[in-house]
Amino acid sequence: MTPLIRLVKLVKVYRPGLHPVTVLKGIDLEVAAGEFVAIMGPSGSGKSTLLYILGCLDRPTSGEYYLEGREVTHLSADELAAVRNTKLGIVFQSFFLLPRLTAVENVELPLLYADLPAPVRRRRALEVLELVGLADRAGHLPAELSGGEMQRVAIARALVNRPPLLLADEPTGNLDRANSHLIMGIFRELHAHQGLTLIMVTHDPEMAAYARRRLTLRDGEVVADEREGGNESLPGEEARAEPPPGPPRGGNPAACGTDG
Ligand code: ADP
Ligand code: MG
């Protein structure tokens, strides 16, 4: 089966020319649909650079990146934007919510590009807010939400277009432990019950423990690639998924589906 992601000898050089710094040194990687992967490694090892390339926010200097079998490194800016809109959701350490919009309006933003009637946009935004346990905060402004709640709104916004892949760069970096575990519980739930593929950068081993596969980067190279239990699990398999800590909710199984 075609892997969701395939990287071939991916290289990223910053400032090619004067003082070139090779940040990714020929990464070869495959990620299957339905995996939950943590990318670990010391500061400066290239984690964010790799995630930005995976998120089509940056291009590699050389090498190939196949997303669902399609090579994306040579796509035009417009084509890349379309890929980002339909195939990827991305969350960051900072939440980047618009302060004057309510939670549900923030979540609706990516749908403005889709040709959907306003009531459909609202319904879909509420569905994903429900999925992250925030239906009751839909009308709140970001300033009225806790950091953990803001990150959950950002996750809902990333998922509202129903992408197959969610990327996260240090998503718990600004959160306390309780909220960090809550977010990880949501990720595990999305992975186990919605079949979402998750790739998460974290330097926190406690958070990486939620993933089923852990990659370690060092100096721009993958130096470890460990799978939970030492063997592959099938996408969507729930046999070894423990119940999430805290109360991060049984979601609406339809919300990441394909209906309109
Ligand atoms: P990590 O996320 O693992 O901390 P990064 O991918 O952010 O690492 O950075 C890897 C290396 O690339 C670091 O040495 C960083 O200073 C360098 N770097 C990152 N972005 C740029 C840039 N835009 N220009 C030059 N160097 C950069
Ligand atoms: Mg980083």
Task: Express each pLDDT in 9-66 by its tens digit.
Answer: 999 999 867 889 999 999 999 999 999 999 999 999 999 999 999 999 999 999 999 9
The residue-averaged pLDDT of 159-172 equals: 96
Name the pLDDT band for 206 (thresholds 50, 70, 90).
very high
| pLDDT value of position 232 | 43
* Distance between Cα 118 and ligand 2 center (Å): 36
Q: Ligand 1 centroid to 53 CA: how many Å?
A: 12
Atom of ligand 1 nearest to the CA of 169: 2
Q: What is the pLDDT of residue 228?
A: 85
Q: Which of 14, 19, 48 to mutate to test the pocket of ligand 1 (most atoms within 8 A of CB)?
A: 14
Average pLDDT, the chain: 88
pLDDT of residue 18: 81
Rounded CA gap, 144 and 99, in Å? Answer: 10
Confidence of residue 115 (pLDDT cuts 50, 70, 90): confident
d(Cα 254, Cα 260) in Å, to the nearest integer? 10
For 178-197, the pLDDT digits (tens) are 999 999 999 999 999 989 99
Amino acid 248: pLDDT: 38
Report whether pLDDT(74) > 80.
yes
The pLDDT score that the predictor gives to residue 185 is 95
Predicted confidence (pLDDT) per residue in 223-234, tens digit: 999 998 754 444
How does residue 114 score in pLDDT terms, banded at 50, 70 and 90?
Answer: confident
Helices (H), the chain: 47-54, 77-87, 103-108, 118-131, 147-159, 177-194, 205-208
Q: What's the mean pLDDT in 98-124?
A: 94
What tokens were used for 149?
């709640």
Nearest CA to ligand 1 atom 5: 46
How far apart, in whole angstroms, are the C-alpha atoms of residue 189 and residue 183? 10
The whole-angstrom distance between residue 205's C-alpha and the CA centroid of its chain comes to 18
Sheet containing 5-14: which strands, arranged edge to edge? 21-31, 5-14, 62-67, 70-71
Residue 51 Cα, ligand 1 centroid: separation in angstroms?
Answer: 11
If pLDDT is split at 50, 70 and 90, which confidence band does 212 have? very high
CA distance 4 to 31: 6
- Measure the CA dihedral 104/175/197/8, to 10°: 120
Instruction: Say yes or no to pLDDT of 253 above 90.
Output: no
Report the pocket of ligand 1 as residue ranges, CB < 6 Å.
14-15, 21, 23, 41, 43-49
**Residue of 19, 23, 43, 221 to test ligand 1 pocket, by largest number of atoms within 8 Å of CB:** 23
pLDDT reported for residue 230: 59
205 to 86, 94, 187, 226: CA distances (angstroms): 31, 20, 15, 13
